[in-house]
Amino acid sequence: MKTGLINHMLLICQFELKRLFATRKGWLYLATYIIVWYFILFYPIRYAADLLDRQRSSAHAGSFFEFLGFGSLLDWAIPAFGVYWQFALIFFPIMSVVIAADQTCSDRQRGTLRFLALRVSRDALFFGRYFSYLVIQFLLILLTLSATFLLVIFRDVSLFSVAINNASSILINLFLVILPFTAMMAALSVTVKSARQATVWAVLIWSFLAGIISLLSSYLPVLGMLKVLIPGYQLSQLAQLSEWEALQIAYIPVLQSLILLAIGRWIMQRQAL
Amino acid sequence: MSEPIIQCQSVSHSYSGKLALKQVSFDITPGEPIGLVGPNGAGKTTLLSILCGFLKPSSGSVSIFGYKPGDSRLCGRISALPQDAWFDPAFTIGEQLVLLARLQGFGTDQAKQEAERVLDAVALKDSWSAKPDTLSHGMAKRVAIAQALIGSPELILLDEPTAGLDPVNTRNIRSIIMEQAKYSTFFISSHDLPELGRVCQKVLLLENGVMSPMQHNVAETEGSTGFITLQMEACAADELMKALQELKGVIQVSNPQKNEFLVEYLPEKAPQMDIEILTCLAKCHWHYRQLTRGKSLEEKLFFTD
């Protein structure tokens, strides 16, 4: 009856998915998410995409969008995906901080983690929960991306293959974007007592760490490199890249995630349950 | 003699500089249930948390079946009823017990059967579909005990298993422990001394983080003298003590609590001291409530000279 780390992680992941798709609280989250994205898709994204389509033929379009800081929108083969990409780069990191805040903290406070820790290793618990929240967010991204995809091909079915290509690049890139945010929340969740505390700490880290590093780097310039460790450091660069180009800086979120997960695991191994 | 299943050597633990356990050392061999008693703040829960792997000791070493607590090789061999641990309110009791059984290595169908079995053992089969926040304190405690029984582990650690339970459920838990003790070794921390006296053959005493060097054997007589604990209906204590003192073989009679008397005697001089005492009571028309051979556990642990 020996079961391994992978099997334990899969079981934990399965149970967390059940939390989203088979509990009343999960349905409430899903309904809210769908409503929010309904408005984002049918108003900002659709109208912005229409505007881009119309402006594309204009000689001044490039300079107009460059002036607004959205010049890269014109690089997208399908404007709707370009607009989606810009929205998603803001929306999903924030969603990640909120949704992944309670990976282990409330279970630890309630003592539920003790029942689990008697049966699985702390690694299985920590990484099992981390991967669960990644899968959940992947599915949520897939849901909105599919809706955008349908919106595009309903208007012009000839864009089917380009849309598949665009959607795939966004799916992979957004998944990479949320990796370090989810890892940061995993590390915070093993440290703090509640999801609210984890969110507050995430906002503080996000907001002030860059400032502190900038201050320190004015004395010792080499410390400026530490900014690369802040989740979301690459987001402004990503906003200027389109489709598969964004993978050029995929190493940044992967590196951030590995470091944050190592920190989280270190805390989890030493944490009293 | 069988190999110890728990070995603690010089285990110390401190919370923010305050020492909760001081150089605790003991061994536990498989067999009859073993109790752990001590006043509030003695370090019982800390010790059990260390044995379960929830807490790392500040110093010293702990070995369970030859592994460190928390080692994945202990999965399925050890289980526990942790203090103040509650189930996730988002899922039903059945769903959570099935998950725990699956994590313990049971297949999907077996896990469901095992979850049903343990829930049935604590007389809560009807609560399969209940959410944890709809259960009373006693029911939640029984569900927590049920999870400790999943897979019949070799070692079960129970932290205050009967705290907050009514007499019927206390009795129910006692019979579950007695039944399961054929297959598992129980290590039970409790304040309920009469209950521990009924269930455990050996008791460890932890006071101020220090483990008493003696393992108290509940049934054993102490040295060459024997003891009888007598609980009486309301009576004249002085007269009764005088009458008992006059019996042949009695060394001394004490009155530790109101209407409770402890008779120390020489068994070789009075092998049937219980009969002698009953005869004396009948002759004087005194009514007793209970007569027990040996000292009560409370007397043994806390009031021995």
Please, which pLDDT band fits residue A236 given cuts at 50, 70 and 90?
Answer: confident
pLDDT at A2 (0 to 100) = 45
| A109: containing domain | 2-270
Number of domains in chain A: 1
Q: Which residue of B has its CA nearest to A104?
A: B88
Helices (H), A100-159: 105-110, 112-117, 122-155
Helix or strand run (H / E) with residue B274: helix B273-283
Looking at residues A80-93, what average pLDDT do you find?
A: 90
Share of chain B above pLDDT 70, in %: 93
CA distance A232 to chain B (A): 32
CB-based contact A119:B102 (threshold 8 Å):
no
Find chain A residues with C-beta within 8 A of B99's C-beta: 11, 15
Task: Give yes or no for residue B87 having a pLDDT over 80.
Answer: yes
Selected residue of B16, B50, B72, B184 to mutate for chain A interface (largest A Cβ count, 10 A): B72
Looking at residues B52-62, what average pLDDT do you find?
A: 92
Range from A136-140, B190-194, B202-206, B291-295 that averages highest in pLDDT: A136-140
Selected residue of A115, A123, A125, A268 to mutate for chain B interface (largest B Cβ count, 10 A): A115
Cα–Cα distance, B34 to B183 (Å, whole number): 14
Cα–Cα distance, B63 to B51 (Å, whole number): 8
Cα–Cα distance, B281 to B22 (Å, whole number): 48
CA distance B167 to chain A (A): 26
Selected residue of B68, B74, B75 to mutate for chain A interface (largest A Cβ count, 10 A): B75
Cα A207–chain centre separation: 17
Helix or strand run (H / E) with residue A213: helix A195-219
Residue B164 structure tokens:
């907050």
Q: Which DSSP letter does residue B234 get?
A: S
Task: Give yes or no for residue B253 having a pLDDT over 80.
Answer: yes
| Comparison of pLDDT for A183 and A229, the residue scoring more | A183
**Of B54, B76, B84, Cβ closest to residue A117:** B54
Cβ-Cβ contacts under 8 Å between A and B: the total is: 81
- Residue keyed to tokens 């029942």: A115
**Mean pLDDT for chain A?**
87
Looking at residues A2-21, what average pLDDT do you find?
A: 87
What is the total residue count of chain B? 305
Give the ipTM of the model, two decimals please.
0.84
Cα–Cα distance, A149 to B295 (Å, whole number): 80
CA distance A20 to chain B (A): 10
CB-based contact B265:B228 (threshold 8 Å):
yes
**Mean pLDDT for chain B?**
87
CB-based contact A227:A198 (threshold 8 Å):
no
Please, which pLDDT band fits residue A223 given cuts at 50, 70 and 90?
Answer: confident
Cα–Cα distance, B38 to B148 (Å, whole number): 23
Residues 114 through 153 of chain B touching chain A, CB cutoff 8 Å = 144, 147, 151
Please, which pLDDT band fits residue A57 given cuts at 50, 70 and 90?
Answer: low
pLDDT at A172 (0 to 100) = 95
Task: Give yes or no for residue B139 having a pLDDT over 80.
Answer: yes
Ranges A105-109, A111-115, B291-295: which has the least confidence: B291-295
Q: Which residue of A has its CA nearest to B69?
A: A118
| Comparison of pLDDT for A245 and A105, the residue scoring more | A105
CA distance B52 to chain A (A): 7
Looking at residues B225-244, what average pLDDT do you find?
A: 86
- Residue keyed to tokens 């803001």: A90
Share of chain B above pLDDT 90, in %: 37
Question: Does the beta-carbon distance from A114 to B82 stay under 8 Å?
Answer: yes
Find chain B residues with C-beta within 8 A of A15's C-beta: 99
Strands, DSSP E only, in A133-259? none
CB-based contact B205:B301 (threshold 8 Å):
yes
Sheet holding B226-232, edge to edge: B250-257, B260-265, B226-232, B288-293
**Any B CB within 8 A of A114 CB:** yes
Q: Which DSSP letter does residue B4 get?
A: P
Instruction: Report helix angle B137-149 to B167-180, nearest 10.
Output: 0
Ranges A5-9, A13-17, B223-227: which has the least confidence: B223-227
Residue A100 structure tokens:
């992944």
Please, which pLDDT band fits residue B70 given cuts at 50, 70 and 90?
Answer: confident
Q: Which DSSP letter does residue A41 get?
A: I
CB-based contact A94:B78 (threshold 8 Å):
no
Q: Which DSSP letter does residue B3 get?
A: P
Task: Give yes or no for residue B64 having a pLDDT over 70.
Answer: yes
- From residue B28, how far is each of A86, B158, B193, B220 by CA, in Å? 63, 15, 20, 18
**Any A CB within 8 A of B49 CB:** yes
Question: Does the beta-carbon distance from A3 to B105 stay under 8 Å?
Answer: yes
Q: Which DSSP letter does residue B294 get?
A: B
Q: Would you say the pTM of this structure is higher than 0.90?
A: no
Cα A135–chain centre separation: 11
Selected residue of A108, A110, A119 to mutate for chain B interface (largest B Cβ count, 10 A): A119
CA distance B140 to chain A (A): 12
Count Cα neighbours of A233 within 13 Å in the Cβ-side half-sphere.
Answer: 25
- Closest-CA residue to A167 (of A35, A40, A55, A77): A77
Cα–Cα distance, B229 to B261 (Å, whole number): 6
Selected residue of B54, B87, B159 to mutate for chain A interface (largest A Cβ count, 10 A): B54
What is the total residue count of chain A? 273
pLDDT at A70 (0 to 100) = 64
- Closest-CA residue to B104 (of B95, B114, B116): B114
Helix or strand run (H / E) with residue B59: strand B59-64
Task: Give yes or no for residue A128 having a pLDDT over 50.
Answer: yes
Q: Which residue of B has its CA nearest to A123?
A: B72
Cα–Cα distance, A71 to B14 (Å, whole number): 60
Fill in the amino acid letter for B176: I
What counts of helices (H) and strands (E) characterise chain B?
9, 13
CA distance A23 to chain B (A): 7
Residue A49 structure tokens:
């995409």
CB-based contact B82:A111 (threshold 8 Å):
yes
Q: Which residue of A has its CA nearest to B58?
A: A270
- From residue A148, how far is each of A78, A175, B68 by CA, in Å? 11, 17, 52
**Any B CB within 8 A of A122 CB:** yes
CA distance A25 to chain B (A): 8
Task: Give yes or no for residue B245 having a pLDDT over 70.
Answer: yes
Residue B83 structure tokens:
């203090």
Instruction: Report helix angle A5-21 to B93-103, nearest 10.
Output: 160
Range from A150-154, A210-214, A238-242 that averages highest in pLDDT: A150-154
- From residue A266, how far is each of A106, A263, B65 by CA, in Å? 19, 5, 26
- Closest-CA residue to B90 (of A205, A23, A97, A156): A23
Residue pLDDT, tens place only, A158-168: 888 999 999 99
| Comparison of pLDDT for B52 and B268, the residue scoring more | B52
- Closest-CA residue to B6 (of B211, B219, B218, B298): B211
Q: Which residue of A has its CA nearest to B100?
A: A116
Looking at residues A163-187, what average pLDDT do you find?
A: 94
Instruction: Please spell the DSSP secondary structure of A43-79, one letter per residue.
Output: IIIHHHHHHHHHHHTSTTHHHHHHHHT-GGGGGSSSH
- Closest-CA residue to B26 (of B186, B204, B191): B204
Looking at residues B48-76, what average pLDDT do you find?
A: 91
Question: Does the beta-carbon distance from B103 to A18 stay under 8 Å?
Answer: no
